[in-house]
Structure 1
Amino acid sequence: MKKFRPSLLVTAIVTSSTVLIACNVQSNTVHSKEKSELSASDIEIKQINQRYTTTKIATFNEPWSIAALNNGNLLITERKGTLQLFDPDTKKKTQVKGLPKVAYGGQGGLGDIVLHPDFNQNHQIYLSYAEAGSGGYGAVVSRGTLDLSQPEKPYIKNLKPVWYQVPKVEGQGHYSHRLLFDKEGKLWISSGERQKFDPAQDMKSNLGKILRLNDDGTPASGNPFVNQGHIAKQVWSLGHRNPLGIAFDANDQLWDVEMGPKGGDELNLVIKGHNYGYPIVSNGDHYDGAPIPDHHTRPEFKAPEISWTPVISPSSLIFYKGDVFPAWKNKALISGLSSESIVIVDTQAKPVTEVQRLNMKQRIRGLLEAKDGSIWVIEDGENAALLKLTP
């Protein structure tokens, strides 16, 4: 029986093929909902071989997130606390002033950046970052106005916090703090459990949750836990570990991708009011080897649509909506750190299935679809490349 081993798949034309995975497959793209009953050899995998070209455009110092302006210029956050305005045509970088002080260290620093849905009118941007304070460290989301009236001196005015992780805790891991706006102008935030386990199930904390807010940071109406206290009013779903990617698919359904513990990285369909079980259940185990019950043992918790052991170490998530990579259209693209990959997942397949894996040979931090359908890619770490994927 032929083994399926994800690799860099580059062909002269876009093709597809059907194979069966053997039981000892290394990719372990197992449909987690039925992990105990479904062996890998029972899953029929339809692979895609999408051709692409990778071009190095520039380098940045620990880039974490990327946003695009209408004129094609990019805003790229760097984890030590700088924001770069980058012109891909001239390769010119200009540092944006007015940034907050960030708590750099561990997984902390300057994180995500998104534009307000009405950015063309109000010029508002949102930044997430780690800060120090009473009790330790926590993520913050702040909103400000990007002033580009002097192109050589870009500046963020009136930057003010609109949301805090509570409580602040010791340690500098699992902030998550990915940001996303939906079509209704609601702000979504992924909040990690900060390596503290129990807060993911505690409704007096917004750690280990997916949150839905108004653009001013107040809880949005229609959230499922409005009668359980002030913090609970923010919460859309709970029981998450370290959700480092959130994105809407073509049907406006929200998905999140999150790091599991030792094994069990997850791609979840995020449903209003659902509990995803961490730390009570996980398809991975504790780093000291202590087992965690799998999702199938506790059906009251929502299981991932797909999980990975060995892990892919997901760092961001987009759904590709363009046309220049036809085999990827409406599929999930997940950037991977330890896997040094971009993982392509068909979320419309039954079961949800990994269909291609791009071997990038570097840790990948983030992805962004450009207006022309090409894909911006940022590597992770010092002297990290900004790449462009084109057909």
Structure 2
Amino acid sequence: MSIQRKDKGFSLVELMVSVVIGLLAVIFATRLMTDSQKNKEAALGGSDSMQNGMLAMFSISGDAEYAGFGINEPLIAGCDTVLTDSEEFQLAPVQRGGVTVRPLAAAVIENGGAGSDRLSLYAGSSPSGTGIMRLLQDYLGGTQLTVDRRPYGFTQGDVILVAPEKKGGKCSIAQISNDIDLVPAPPADQFVMIGGAGYRFNSGALGDQYRAGAARVFNLGPAASLALRTWSVERGFLRLSATDLAGSGQASQAVADNIVALKAQYGLDTRLGTAFEPETGMRVSTWSTDMIDADGDGVAAGAGDYTRIAALRIAVVARSKNPERPNAATGQCTATPALPTVFATLGADNGNTAPVQVEVAVAGDTVDWRCYRYRVFETIVPLRNAGWRPTSS
């Protein structure tokens, strides 16, 4: 008797079911990996922006806390200043009565509109920056300043500022080139030399003329520690140009990457007359990106207005390092659908704050700005040197 053997195997239906199940498993695994990658990119992007934004804000706010030291004397603050620097650092320009001036002040903001602002923060380093000397003879040019007393506290290499006692004139920055300790005995010891090669802030002349008995000489401290600093954002980098940072007089240095916006506002004390008493404390009455007529003398961005800066409000916008993928269906990025907004909260007596929407697109970047994630950092920094000022008597 023969036994008939039946072949075993998968039927066509069973094979098709297996293929479908396998495809579903592959789709599920792919979706799982894609979602995991998106979550990873979002998490890493948030971490990058957090670190970069914190570094940027820490750096700028540290300068703001020190701003105004040694230059908060009423004759200095806001004075249109002539500065000649061998490394080509330039003070920030401001419009005053239709004329471009370069004020020496604790803070100067160059309004960038919807784009980034430039924020300049200035400070000297001499604890005795009061103008303790007056010109004894007219200065009409040259390399020698004749003063009314022996220049105690002044040292070769120190940066000096000559300011008229009547506001509205120009101030001039230079650098002492003679050794004060080796000058002759009185009365031939009452002079300061500003000529000679090898001095950074020294063109051999002040760039303006000053009358005897009507101008003072201030000591801003050693040249190496004169902190004239300008913060800006260019092509996704926070950059710093500074007199006390080697190689960054004209060419700024990168400080933090993936910073796409910097905005700043003055916090101004607009109290008038006897109500304005900085010695008893400064008070923010209004916020403004542009300098206004804060002292009520009829001139916006006048010298006296810069003595009214009580605080600065600063905002930094950082973005993720890597862009996210566009939506598969539409081809459009939705990581950030709207431009970031800064300064949305109140904080002044009259509550005049208006939110500012900031442009964050980086020049030259071919990726749509909406593909990145952004984080906004804001802070208010009181200018602690604002109320510490000597009298002009």
TM-score where L is the length of structure 1: 0.24
Rg larger in structure: 2
Q: Which one has more relative contact order, counting CA pairs under 8 Å at least 6 apart?
A: 2
Q: Which has the higher helix share?
A: 2
Q: TM-score, normalised by structure 2?
A: 0.24
* Structure with greater proportional strand content: 1
